Structures are given as C-alpha cells and as structure tokens.
Amino acid sequence: MEPCRGRALRGRHGRRAWLGSAGQHPDAPKGPPVPSPRPPRPPRRPTRAELVRTLRAAGCVFAEDEARVLLASARTDAELAAMVGRRTAGEPLEHIVGWVVFCGLRIAVEPGVFVPRRRTERLVREAAAVVRTTAQGTAVVADLCCGTGAVGAALAATLEPTAVELFAVDLDPAAVRCARRNVAPAGGHVYAGDLFGPLPPRLRGRVDVVVANAPYVPTDAIALLPAEARLHEPRLALDGGADGLDVQRRVVAAAPQWLTARGFLLVETSEQQAAQTVDAFARAGLTVRLARSERYGSVVAIGRRVGNRPVAARERLP
C-alpha cells in the first residue's frame, strides 16, 4: 500500500499541484499553446476488390487468393499496408505472411528459406505409401535437404502418430531454424550439415526411408527462374550444378550405406532429368521406378535396396 501518494500530489483545490490552469506545467513557457503535430493518419483498409486490383496490377496471378490471405493475416490496417507493399515489390506471399499450406498443414516459412511447392506433395504421398506397405512398427525416416522440414512434417502428420521417427538435415542455418519449428509436433530431430553427415552414426544401415527434394535446377537455368525464386530464395536451395543433379547424385550414392537391407530412397526430380536420376539409382545398386504427377508436372524416383547386397566401394562416402 502507498498511503501518502494521493495527498502529496494534490494542491489546495484538489487539483494536481504540478499543473497550471491550462493543464500546463507551471514552468512551461507562456504564450499561445503550440498545436502538437497530428499523428499520421493510419492508411485506410482497402476493400477486397481494391486489394485484388492492386495485386493484379503488380502481376500477382492469383490475386483473389492472395487478397484473401493478406486480409486474413494482417492484424491492423498499417500491417496490411506494409504487407501489400512488400508483396507488390515482389516478395513471395509465403515469406510475408510466414506460412504456406502444404499437404493440408500450415508450415512456417521464414524469409530466406525455400518455399515448399505443391508439386512436392507427390513426394510425401509416395513416401507415405511406402511406409504404410512395408514398415513394421516405427519407420526411421531421414528427410535430407529438408528446407522448412515440410516433407518430413507432412509425412509424419499423414501417418499414425508413432509410425515415423523423423530425422531432418539441411546445410542452411535459416532452414534448420525453420524446420525445428515445423517438425517439433512430430517429435522430429533436425541437424545442420551436409546430407547424411550430421546424422547420428547409429542410424547407418537402420534408415527405412530416405526422402530428398535436393536442389535440381541447372546453374544456367537459374537466370530463367521467376524473380520471386531468384531474388528471395537462397541459391543453395536451387542450384544443382551444371546439369542440376550434383547434390541429388551424392544423396543417391550415399543412401545404400544408411538404408536397411530393404530400405527405400525417394527423390524428387523433373521429367527432363528423370533418365539421369534413374541412372544414378542404378549405379548405386538400387531398383527404381518413377511416379509422375500430371497435375504438377513432378516426378518422384522411388528406389529400393535389394536384400543384403554389399555396398560397392565406389558408393561409399568419402
């Protein structure tokens, strides 16, 4: 309790003692009151139709959908104005609102991290089918080049709660931070580093399913990507070297050492690169089939170790 506070602050007439009659401090300079500058007026919230027009004029193809997402995401009119400004300047919507829907899940996406694409949902569906048909008990799954962790998180969410023990890896610290947020509900573990490198050594020969959406854009094709990807997603997430398959080939070559004797490797590739991907699987001693999504134009290569065939020296990690 502070018993003296009220009395000490009040003068003879019960007014607060430090205020003059005009509500000014007695030491304040005399003269006509100086009007205080008006706070800037907050921007008016645009109607949905106005927002759609603004987005369309900036080249947003899905202006209607984007307007709905922006209006639902902004907590204030000022925040909406800032978001619209970033979007019309070319930043990906997902980086602005901080999430993307992938396989029906809301996945956190931080600026500077690769935005999961709808075509990659096919990789998740194929991986889920493999786990369902083959695994007994909990399947050990490694999601390499995990980015936001969307693939592993969606796979775990698709299956029974105990169906998957998830390990995810990415080289980019921003992606690792983001993946930790997304795979936490599945109890997944996220490691920073190069491909299989940071995985616990006890997993060698014990992984049931490896999934990888590694970068697969050929270096010369980066310049042809939409500005949103080229300017706002890290080069590390896109550039797959001269023919686009440098990282993918390293994943495939090393996978047999980590897979169980009948484990699976699933890799996203493109129609143009599918033949080279199949070749890489064959060189690693894996059987392979392709699953194609006509809707999204994606291809998933699904390979399997065949029994206990020893891993050839050339397939070993350096």
Ligand X SMILES: C[S@@+](CC[C@H](N)C(=O)[O-])C[C@H]1O[C@@H](n2cnc3c(N)ncnc32)[C@H](O)[C@@H]1O
Q: Is 146 in the site for ligand X (CB under 6 A)?
A: yes
Q: List binders of ligand X among 147-206 (CB under 6 A).
A: 147-148, 150-151, 169-172, 175, 194-195
The number of beta carbons lying within 10 Å of the beta carbon of residue 300 is 25
* Residue 121 binds to ligand X (criterion: CB under 6 A): no
Closest to ligand X by CB, 56 or 118? 118
From residue 36, how far is each of 18, 24, 26, 33 by CA, in Å?
21, 14, 19, 9
Q: Near ligand X by CB under 6 A, which window of 131-139, 210-218, 272-280, 282-290?
A: 210-218
Q: What is the DSSP letter of 314?
A: G
Cβ–Cβ < 8 Å for 279, 228: no
Scored b (16 or more CB within 10 A) or e, 49-71 reads: eebbebbeeeebeebeebbebbb
Q: Which stretch binds ligand X (CB under 6 A): 6-14, 49-57, 208-216, 286-294?
A: 208-216
Taking the C-alpha atoms of residue 124 and residue 103, their distance in angstroms, rounded to an integer, is 8
CA distances from 176 to 119, 233, 240, 253 (A): 22, 15, 19, 24
Asked if 237 is part of the footprint of ligand X (rule: CB under 6 A), the reply reads yes
CB of 237 to ligand X, least distance (A): 4
User: Residue with the closest Cβ to ligand X?
Assistant: 147
* 17's tokens: 């003692």
Give the shortest CB-53-to-ligand X separation in angstroms: 32
- The 10 Å Cβ neighbour count of residue 89 is 8
Start-to-end Cα distance in the chain: 72
Q: Is residue 247 close enough to count as binding ligand X by CB under 6 A?
A: yes
Q: Kindly state whether residue 145 participates in binding ligand X, applying the rule CB under 6 A.
A: yes
**Of 58 and 192, CB closest to ligand X:** 192
Closest distance of CB 198 from ligand X, Å: 9
Residue that the structure tokens 């580093």 belong to = 193
Which one, 213 or 269, has the nearer CB to ligand X? 213
Which residues of this protein are in contact with ligand X, per CB under 6 A? Answer: 114, 116, 120, 145-148, 150-151, 169-172, 175, 194-195, 213-215, 236-237, 247
